[in-house]
């Protein structure tokens, strides 16, 4: 799952899957973009980073005394990378049909992974199939 050949993993371990989507609004009623990527964890992390760079808005501002504008993505890139890496590392790959998901809404970013919460932890309204992480706002 870490170093496997992406083409081979797609057939032998189809759960090495990243699903990404951009929705219009704050619910899942209308897709603006919807893609799937198979591969090892490093390839999936790269695909996730590229999708977020292409999808998330970047705000710009000027500061007094500076000649260049300052561009800042909506969410800090290190935080989004950590959230995706965490989901890829800690998901349950023994569950067939599972995936890590990125969902970008107008008001939040959600990172999800297949599996249950560890150590007997529970969360209200948590699907048995999905381990939902906190949305990044």
Dist CA 114 CA 98 (whole Å): 5
**The whole model's pTM is what?**
0.77
Query: In the Cβ-directed half-sphere of 106, how many Cα atoms lie within 13 Å?
Result: 9
Other CB atoms within 10 Å distance of the CB of residue 79 = 12
Provide the residue ranges of all domains of the chain, joining segments of one domain with +. Answer: 6-132
Rounded to an integer, what distance in angstroms lies between the CA atom of residue 115 and that of residue 133? 11
Domain 6-132 belongs in CATH node 3.30.565.60:
yes
pLDDT tens digits, residue range 90-132?
887 777 778 899 999 999 999 998 876 666 666 544 444 444 4
User: Is the distance from CB of 84 to CB of 99 less than 8 angstroms?
Assistant: no
Over the stretch 13-50, which tens digit does the pLDDT of each residue have? 778 899 999 999 999 999 999 999 998 889 999 999 99
> Hey, what's the torsion of the CAs at 82, 52, 91, 2, to 10 degrees?
-80
């Amino acid at each position: 799952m870490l170093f496997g050949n992406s083409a081979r993993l797609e057939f032998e371990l189809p759960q090495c899957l990243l699903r990404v989507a951009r929705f219009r609004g704050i619910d899942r009623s209308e897709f603006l973009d919807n893609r799937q990527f198979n591969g090892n964890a490093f390839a999936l992390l790269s695909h996730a980073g590229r999708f977020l760079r292409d999808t998330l808005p970047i705000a710009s501002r000027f500061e007094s005394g500076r000649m260049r504008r300052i561009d800042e993505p909506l969410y800090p890139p290190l935080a989004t990378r950590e959230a995706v890496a965490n989901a890829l590392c800690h998901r349950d790959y023994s569950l067939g049909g599972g995936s890590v998901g990125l969902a970008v809404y107008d008001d939040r970013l959600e990172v999800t992974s297949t599996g249950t919460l560890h150590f007997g932890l529970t969360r209200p309204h948590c699907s048995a199939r999905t381990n939902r992480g906190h949305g990044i706002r």
